[in-house]
Amino acid sequence: MSLLFPLFPDTQALATFFVERQGGDAGSLADISRQVTRVAQRLAEAGVGVGDTVLFHAGQREEALVLFWAAMARGAIFAPLDETWPDYLVERAAGGLSPRLVACDATRCSLYQRLFPAADRVAFPSADQEAPTADAPDRSDWSDWIGGDAFDAPPLAIVPPSAPAAYLFTSGSTGTPKAVVLSRGALAHGARLTLETFEWAPGERLVNLPEPHTMSGLRNGLVASVLGGLRWIPFGAARRPNLFALLEALEDAKAERLVIGPALVRQLAVLGDRVDPQILASTKAIYCTGAMLSPIAADQFHAHFGVPIVNYYGLTETGGICVSQRLAGWRAGDRSIGTAAGAELRVAPEQGEPAPLGLGELQVRSPQLMSGYRDDPQRTAGRFDDGWLRTGDLARIDADGRVYLVGRSEGFIKTASTDRVAPEEVEMLLEEHPAVAEAAVLGVKTAQDYERIVALVVLRDPQGGHVAETELADFVGSRLGTARTPSQICFVPRLPRRDTGKIIRSELQEMLDEYV
């Protein structure tokens, strides 16, 4: 069975594809294909077929890739969950899926036995040596699934490109995570577009830090790496228990291509000379997505390591990448997120009329947009405007087609002057001050029913690098004007962020209560 056939029927997988394992071993294309065929047979024995859900909850690992392609061969839907979610959020997000099979870390078997007692379960070895094993006796072990005697490959499912391939969940920061439905055609198109836009070449070594439950984790690590014949190096949580362990592992990996989030860029920029730039000596380019990238942190990172940071943009709802910088012609100091990548773009103000060179909501039209939110046609309809997907992000597009993000359209602060202030605009400016490591801005309601702007600031050197609140306020006011200047600046030791680097804005108010 061709590994690529379920999504790319006219394409042969390249023999340059390998999965590198810890200890120097590597899984060849033939080895991975054998595992995929074996697991596809196991799925068939478990009754998994067209349209059934295969729930995966075990993070970035070789088994994720094998299970994904086996699910595609059966015409099933791959539903990976966030490793960091607590049980209550797992139950809230996945409760309606009714999976036919659950593949999870051994520590989660009892949870899924309770949630889905009728589903088959297969468990992966846990990094926790004391993981419970006796509380879910009816599970299977992954080692049994990929081992055994000779076997015959099950027939490939025949499904159209419009059939769902994956459910990817939104973060859930504003309530119950929503399941985004991505079709097989959309996922295949996105993988091809990624290889073309990033110019990844067969045989190159790829470290892709986003996890499989994210768009970049699924598409880059599990699909594009195989299609492009790369050497994929899984970097699960066990390989990066802390920042310095991650840096040591990256140095050993010697990857030509590295995909990370803005949080890591920020951390490394702050560490500066304490990190040996030779750690990334083999890296041709770094690709960054998941949240707004601080241009100051990106500049500092590039100055220290000498590696270009290619900023790219896409939502789960857009099927991933739709805007990107390009390595060819890349220049330090570019404040844009690049130009259109395989998509049509427009910005639309509130009245809905296109305004290509003005400020408005960024909207996208492309062949890889989501099919919709699972079982939620009303919410799905609200995200589209005559075939254009509404991203909810404010942006400007200049005459050369470069896109500049400003912030979230629903996140405006409404001040007394009736100005609508984007918090991200003020945050990025504050982070340009040499004393500031990172900043978060929010609006605080007043008795007069408008909001005042308050900033939470983390200093680069809390002991020896203090800066006066008035100096920072003047710094913002001189650039953005008094209407966008914080009325109060609080110095805090840290900001709440997700692994992707996004600020957890729901936790900012609680943090602010300690200072106001």
pLDDT per residue as tens digits for the range 128-146: 544 444 455 567 899 889 8
**pLDDT band for position 76 (cuts 50, 70, 90):** very high
Residue 44 domain flag: yes
Q: Please give the residue that has the higher pLDDT: either 498 or 33.
A: 33
Q: Do residues 488 and 391 share a domain?
A: no
Residues whose CB falls within 8 Å of the CB of residue 286, separated by 6 or more in sequence, listed in order: 258, 259, 260, 265, 280, 307, 308, 309, 310
**437 close to 297: Cβ distance less than 8 angstroms:** no
Residue 200 pLDDT greater than 90, yes or no: yes
Q: Do residues 280 and 191 share a domain?
A: no
Residues whose CB falls within 8 Å of the CB of residue 226, separated by 6 or more in sequence, listed in order: 3, 4, 13, 17, 65, 69, 232
Helix (H) or strand (E) holding 52: none
* Structure token digits, residue 91: 């139950």
How far apart CA 90 and CA 105 sit, in angstroms, is: 14
How far apart CA 75 and CA 53 sit, in angstroms, is: 10
How far apart CA 122 and CA 103 sit, in angstroms, is: 5
**pLDDT band for position 127 (cuts 50, 70, 90):** low
Q: Do residues 450 and 462 share a domain?
A: yes
**91 close to 113: Cβ distance less than 8 angstroms:** no
Q: Taking residues 54-82, what's their average pLDDT? A: 96
* Mean pLDDT for all residues in the chain: 88
How far apart CA 236 and CA 212 sit, in angstroms, is: 10
Q: Do residues 106 and 171 share a domain?
A: yes
**pLDDT band for position 509 (cuts 50, 70, 90):** confident
Q: φ and ψ at 266, to 5 degrees? A: -65, -45
Q: How far is CA 86 from CA 93, 99, 136, 416, in A?
A: 11, 19, 19, 40
DSSP character for 497? B
- Within 13 A of 29's CA, how many CA atoms are on the CB side? 19
Structural Rg of the chain based on CA atoms: 23
Q: Please give the residue that has the higher pLDDT: either 433 or 370.
A: 370
Report helix angle 29-45 to 62-74, nearest 10.
Answer: 60
Q: Do residues 398 and 435 share a domain?
A: no
Q: Do residues 416 and 358 share a domain?
A: no
Q: Do residues 185 and 247 share a domain?
A: no
- pLDDT > 70: what percent of the chain? 91
DSSP character for 25? -
> CATH number for the domain including 433?
3.30.300.30
Residue 287 domain flag: yes
Q: Nearest CA to 395 among 370, 422, 415?
A: 422
Residue 383 pLDDT greater than 90, yes or no: yes
What range does the domain containing 157 cover? 18-198
How far apart CA 17 and CA 222 sit, in angstroms, is: 11
Q: Do residues 289 and 336 share a domain?
A: yes
pLDDT per residue as tens digits for the range 436-481: 888 999 888 876 777 889 999 999 877 656 788 999 999 998 988 8
Q: Taking residues 5-10, what's their average pLDDT? A: 91
Q: φ and ψ at 424, to 5 degrees? A: -60, -35
Residue 256 pLDDT greater than 60, yes or no: yes
Residue 378 domain flag: no
Residue in the block written with tokens 């595609």: 72
Q: Do residues 364 and 497 share a domain?
A: no
Residues whose CB falls within 8 Å of the CB of residue 333, separated by 6 or more in sequence, listed in order: 295, 299
How far apart CA 21 and CA 434 sit, in angstroms, is: 41
**179 close to 166: Cβ distance less than 8 angstroms:** no
Residue 120 domain flag: yes
Q: Nearest CA to 432 among 402, 463, 460, 395?
A: 460
Q: How far is CA 512 from CA 175, 465, 501, 508, in A?
A: 21, 22, 19, 6
Specify the number of domains making up the chain: 3
Residue 128 domain flag: yes
Q: Do residues 259 and 327 share a domain?
A: yes
Residue 169 domain flag: yes
